[in-house]
């Protein structure tokens, strides 16, 4: 059992640190919705994406009426599920509350049993975690129907503009220049809050290494560390491209494609990368087809992998994909005679098709439009969108409407 006096000291220390924490730029979420609901609120995302800061912002809405603990603390390394009763005792000694905030809960095995118990006792619970599968499997097993999950990503472009005191709603030529300059930086540098604040590339490298070693290699007990790191580097270098486990295994001289599949699964669980499936009515075909890989943040990708000038198109595609995920879209890609970057599915039906390219010109417009229109035909849609750097126009192609819009418009005019 954890020493009660020591636990009380840690809880009080953490409360003081949490109280002093800078609440930063308020994230663009519906705070009232998540505070008023009786459901458990899960904040899930990669390390240093702002989960704890968002928890701080939620706590401010609770006006100091909450209990708090952070399990990403070496002093709590021996804490286990049997110690939660002691934790409740410590909390209740200080004051009475029905709101509980817990950071990095995945560090405690069988945490979900405690959460379910206190939920049934009427507590309002906010928790954060950095492992997608761990959280989802425990939640689906023990807490089905009792929670909301918010996936926390690095700053959106809107949030970056707010951080830099740029009004994205103001219409003027001088303000447009500011927004475009900010976008040029965001495209390459990404949106990790601390990197935007300090512009320290070492921060991005350290964050990547912390995820790789603490959240993956250590947690999953990976023995072939060199092989795993080669797979991670390969995916970061080949982001937005189709990947096949067998081909990666052959290229990197790894014995088994199953190992590659597992490594990529670990990278996904820790929010470093995402696999995008080809859309097909057959789920089996979706799973066996090659996937496309995207990474959590362009800035992190830029510092941990080789970059070239022609990467801007891939950086833009990656940025748009992450934005679609941030908006909660169910995304696929389409591949027939041509290719369409993103299909948005809702209730079993494709509702939108989006193509992304950095610039449209005589050399690529026919190909980009043809890929989009092929998907429009296949899914009985009449219009589609091409997101590019700066062009804005509408064209008609084979009876279909193609809206060509600047990335800035897409990123600032939708929620």
- Domain positions in the chain are 4-151, 200-307, 308-415
Please give the Cα distance from 160 to 150 (Å, whole number).
19
Q: How far is CA 23 from CA 27, 60, 198, 343, 346, in A?
A: 10, 9, 16, 36, 35
140 vs 292, residue with greater confidence: 292
CATH assignment of 308-415, given 3.30.420, 2.60.40, 1.20.1070, 3.40.1350?
3.40.1350
Assess whether the region 200-307 and the region 308-415 belong to the same CATH fold.
no
Give the confidence band of 172 by pLDDT, cuts at 50, 70, 90.
confident
What does the alpha-carbon distance between residue 244 and residue 275 come to, in Å, rounded to a whole number?
A: 11
Residue 134 has pLDDT above 80, yes or no: no
Model pLDDT for residues 368-394, shown as the tens digit of each residue: 999 999 999 999 999 999 999 999 999
- DSSP codes joined into one string, 139-151: HHHH-TTSEEEEE
Distance CA 390, CA 408 (A): 8
**DSSP annotation of 69:** E
Instruction: With cut-offs at 50, 70 and 90, classify the pLDDT of residue 229.
Output: very high
- Pairing assessment for the beta strands 400-406 and 383-388 based on DSSP bridges: parallel
When pLDDT is averaged across residues 287-307 and rounded to a whole number, the result is: 88
d(CA 251, CA 213): 24
Strands laid side by side in the 242-243 sheet: 242-243, 291-295, 273-276
Helix, strand and coil content of the chain, in percent to the nearest 5, comes to 50, 20, 30
- pLDDT of the residue at 218: 92
Rounded CA separation 263/232 (Å): 8
Q: How many CB atoms lie within 10 A of CB 84?
A: 20
Highest mean pLDDT among 105-114, 168-177, 182-191: 182-191
Q: Return the number of other C-beta atoms located less than 10 Å from residue 1's C-beta.
A: 10
CATH number of 200-307: 1.10.10.10
Position 17 pLDDT exceeds 70: yes
Q: What is the pLDDT of residue 401?
A: 97
Among candidates 216, 230, 219, 203, which has minimal Cα distance to 270?
Answer: 216
Average pLDDT over every residue of 288-299: 92
pLDDT beyond 60 at 230:
yes
Residue 43 CA to residue 51 CA, distance in Å, equals 6
pLDDT above 90 coverage of the chain, percent: 84
Residue (of 323, 316, 388, 325) closest to 159 by Cα position: 323
The span from the CA of 146 to the CA of 371, in Å, is 42
Q: Spell out the CATH class of 4-151.
A: alpha beta
Q: What is the pLDDT of residue 133?
A: 65
Mean residue pLDDT of the chain comes to 93
- What SS3 state is found at 414? coil
Q: The pTM is what? A: 0.94
Going by pLDDT thresholds of 50, 70 and 90, the confidence category of residue 2 is confident
pLDDT at 207: 97
Q: What is the pLDDT of residue 131?
A: 81
Q: Tell me what the mean pLDDT of segment 249-274 comes to.
A: 96
């Amino acid at each position: 059992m954890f020493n009660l006096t020591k636990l009380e000291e840690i809880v009080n220390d953490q409360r003081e640190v949490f109280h002093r924490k800078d609440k930063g730029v308020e994230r663009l979420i519906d705070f009232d919705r998540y505070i008023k609901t009786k459901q458990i609120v899960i904040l899930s995302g990669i390390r240093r994406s702002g989960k704890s800061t968002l928890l701080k912002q939620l706590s401010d809405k609770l006006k100091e009426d909450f209990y708090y603990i952070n399990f990403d603390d070496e002093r709590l390394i021996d804490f286990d599920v049997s110690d939660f009763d002691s934790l409740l005792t410590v909390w209740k000694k200080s004051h009475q509350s029905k709101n509980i905030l817990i950071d990095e809960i995945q560090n405690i095995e069988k945490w979900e049993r405690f959460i379910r118990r206190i939920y049934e006792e009427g507590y309002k619970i906010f928790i954060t975690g950095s492992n997608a599968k761990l959280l989802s499997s425990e939640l689906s097993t023990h807490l089905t129907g009792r929670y909301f999950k918010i996936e926390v990503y690095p700053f959106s472009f809107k949030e970056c503009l707010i951080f830099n005191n740029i009004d994205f709603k103001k219409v003027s030529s001088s303000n447009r220049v500011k927004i475009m300059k900010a976008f040029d930086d965001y495209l390459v540098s990404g949106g990790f809050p601390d990197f935007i604040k300090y512009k320290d590339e070492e921060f991005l490298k350290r964050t990547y290494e912390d995820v790789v070693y603490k959240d993956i290699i250590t947690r999953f007990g990976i023995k072939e560390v060199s092989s795993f790191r080669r797979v991670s580097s390969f995916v970061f270098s080949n982001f937005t491209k189709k990947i096949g486990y067998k081909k990666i295994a052959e290229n990197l001289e790894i014995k088994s494609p199953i190992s590659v599949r597992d490594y990529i699964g670990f990278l996904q669980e820790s929010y470093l990368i995402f696999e995008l499936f080809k859309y097909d009515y057959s789920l089996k075909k979706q799973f066996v087809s090659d996937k496309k890989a995207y990474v959590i943040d362009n800035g992190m990708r830029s510092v941990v992998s080789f970059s070239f000038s022609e990467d801007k198109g891939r950086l833009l595609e990656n940025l748009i994909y992450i934005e679609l995920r941030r908006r909660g879209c169910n995304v696929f890609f389409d591949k027939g005679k041509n290719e369409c970057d993103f299909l948005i599915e809702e209730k079993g039906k494709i509702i939108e098709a989006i193509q992304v390219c950095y610039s449209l010109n005589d050399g690529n417009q026919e190909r980009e439009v043809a890929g989009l229109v092929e998907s429009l035909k296949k899914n009985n849609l009449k219009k589609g969108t091409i997101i590019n750097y700066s062009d804005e126009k509408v064209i008609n192609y084979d009876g279909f409407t193609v809206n060509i819009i600047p990335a800035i418009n897409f990123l600032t005019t939708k929620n």
